[in-house]
Chains A and B, each alone.
Chain A
Amino acid sequence: MSRLRQDRTLRLTYLRHELRHRWWQALATGAGLAVGVALVITVSAAASGTRAAQNRVLDSLDHAASSNAAAGTVDDAVATASGLAAHLGIWVAAAALIASVAVATLLTLASVARRVREFGTLKALGWPARRITAQVLTETAAIGVAGTLAGVALGYAGAAILAAIGPTLTVNVTGFADAVPGPGGPPKTPGHGPVAVHFSAPISPGIVALAVGLGLLGALLAGALGAWRAARLDPATALSRVG
């Protein structure tokens, strides 16, 4: 028990110095993950906000043109566009997250490659491969947790900014009715006047949980690959490699 705590103390001391002196590397990896996580949150908030706004527009259209034959078609068309926009947003966010995990993985591997002699030296000191693995995983986990949390904060901020600058859609139902006349001459329903639909970007807890999970999973993947590379290194490189 006390030995375990000892192991952890030394591992955390190593981690602390490592992060302090190679902070730019940690920052780049963490920031990459943060951007990916933030995009997932902001883009899905924007998508559900768009969907909500469109639904309200459709509601007022339905209300205005309930007896209009064209209304059904318009309804379908707008709903399809709305669905497409939402899906596109999710795909963009997913692609951004995958890209940021790929960047984090590459940066972790580059960092491990730069530290070949360091890991070789640790092996020469008698460190078992699993201890080196644990060290690299600890470092990536710390960066991953920090990056993911920063990403959640960024995502909320992004959604708040979108909601603040988002347009208020004004739907002039009379105008719509004029523009799409029914087959039987002039519209039967008189206009209800303009309907204001304010854009909002609501964040669902499920999406936040998903983004956090994916961010941490990505960090774990990056760390596992890096640790695997580090542990596989030939210890003799400590003696023969220079640089």
Chain B
Amino acid sequence: MYKLTGVTRTYRKGGKTVDALAGVDVVIGDREWLAIQGPTGHGKTTLLQLLGGLDRPTSGTILFDGKNLGEMTEAEITRVRATSIGFIFQTFNLIPTLPAAVNVELALAPLRLDAAERRAQVARALDAVGLTDRAGHLPAELSGGQQQRVGIARALVKDPAVLLADEPTGNLDETTRDEIIDLLAQLVRDRGLTLVMVTHDSTVAARAERIGQMRDGRLLFDGAPVTGGDRQP
């Protein structure tokens, strides 16, 4: 699905530069579930932004399905996001003025669908996350776990190839966390999705097929799942 070679991303802030990514090399297979751990400020979010085409590398190449994301035009990369990539955010990022179903429907806006098809897909996505009876609720009327379910429905409704999740359970209690991870695991398996998930939580990371560690802008694999040490308050 992804092939990253020598990927760097340098931020310039004032006079000094920060190497958020200092040379990442990784191949992420189709249908793989990759967890990324690591302390705050070591480049995890930056890596997800690059994988999702929200940002471009300073150097190196990111092949997505064989196409170089860094060389696409803005229109092409927007199209990739619209059709192939689903984002899940730690803070859910639902639009507070819109009911759950409209929040999900917004993900279909850039696609060429007619109304009936669009509504059917929204209904299916809400059903898949168990929120059919909450379709008309505003985000503020939903619990954190329910909001993240809407977030997952919004990411899945377009039937993407990849899910990118940045601390998806970071704002949830343990019981809700386990429910959300169970749901994600089931959906990813059923639909054959590739999942890249950043998490501080070793319990969550342990569910993945592979765990990478971000350290100083590099992605390291040492084979064995890492437990403890990285937990954040």
Interface of A with B (CB < 8 Å)? 2-3, 6-7, 9-10, 13-14, 17-18, 20-22, 117-118, 120-129, 131, 235-236, 238-240, 242
Q: Which residues of A contact B115 (CB under 8 A)?
A: 6, 9
| B49 touching A236, Cβ below 8 Å | yes
Contact for A239 among B49, B98, B154, CB less than 8 A: B49
| A117 touching B102, Cβ below 8 Å | no
Interface of B with A (CB < 8 Å)? 45, 48-49, 52, 54-55, 74-75, 78-83, 85, 87, 89, 91, 93, 95-99, 102, 105-107, 109-110, 112-115, 118, 138, 154, 158, 166
Q: How far is the CB of B125 from chain A (nearest CB, A)?
A: 13
Interchain pairs with CB closer than 8 A, number? 93
Q: How far is the CB of B186 from chain A (nearest CB, A)?
A: 23
| A2 touching B114, Cβ below 8 Å | yes
A-B pairs, top 4 by smallest CB distance, nearest first, are A126-B82, A126-B81, A21-B97, A121-B93
| A14 touching B98, Cβ below 8 Å | yes
Q: Which residues of A contact B55 (CB under 8 A)?
A: 235-236
Q: Known A124-B54, A125-B110, A239-B54; judge A10-B105 contact (CB<8 A).
A: yes
Q: How far is the CB of A120 from chain B (nearest CB, A)?
A: 8
Q: Which residues of A contact B91 (CB under 8 A)?
A: 117, 242
Cα-based distance from A14 to B102 in the complex (angstroms): 8
A121-B93, A123-B54, A239-B49 known, 6 other contacts, Cβ within 8 Å: A7-B109, A9-B115, A17-B97, A126-B85, A129-B74, A239-B166
| A124 touching B52, Cβ below 8 Å | yes
Cα-based distance from A116 to B82 in the complex (angstroms): 19
Cα-based distance from A239 to B110 in the complex (angstroms): 20
Cα-based distance from A126 to B110 in the complex (angstroms): 7
| B107 touching A125, Cβ below 8 Å | yes
Cα-based distance from A10 to B75 in the complex (angstroms): 21
Cα-based distance from A13 to B96 in the complex (angstroms): 14
Closest to A3 in B: B112
Q: How far is the CB of B46 from chain A (nearest CB, A)?
A: 8
Cα-based distance from A126 to B118 in the complex (angstroms): 16
Closest to A10 in B: B109
Cα-based distance from A236 to B51 in the complex (angstroms): 12
| A126 touching B49, Cβ below 8 Å | no
| B97 touching A125, Cβ below 8 Å | no
Q: Which residues of B contact A124 (CB under 8 A)?
A: 52, 54, 81, 87, 93
| B54 touching A17, Cβ below 8 Å | no
| B109 touching A131, Cβ below 8 Å | yes
Q: How far is the CB of B140 from chain A (nearest CB, A)?
A: 10
Cα-based distance from A235 to B114 in the complex (angstroms): 27
Cα-based distance from A7 to B109 in the complex (angstroms): 7
Q: How far is the CB of B99 from chain A (nearest CB, A)?
A: 7
| A–B pairs, 22, beta carbons within 8 Å | A3-B114, A6-B118, A9-B115, A13-B105, A17-B97, A18-B97, A21-B97, A117-B91, A117-B93, A121-B95, A123-B54, A124-B52, A125-B82, A125-B106, A126-B79, A126-B81, A127-B109, A127-B110, A236-B49, A239-B45, A239-B48, A239-B54
Closest to A19 in B: B97
Q: Known A6-B115, A121-B95, A236-B54; judge A17-B87 contact (CB<8 A).
A: no
Q: Known A126-B82, A238-B54, A238-B93; judge A13-B49 contact (CB<8 A).
A: no
Most buried by A among B52, B74, B95, B158: B95
| B97 touching A20, Cβ below 8 Å | yes
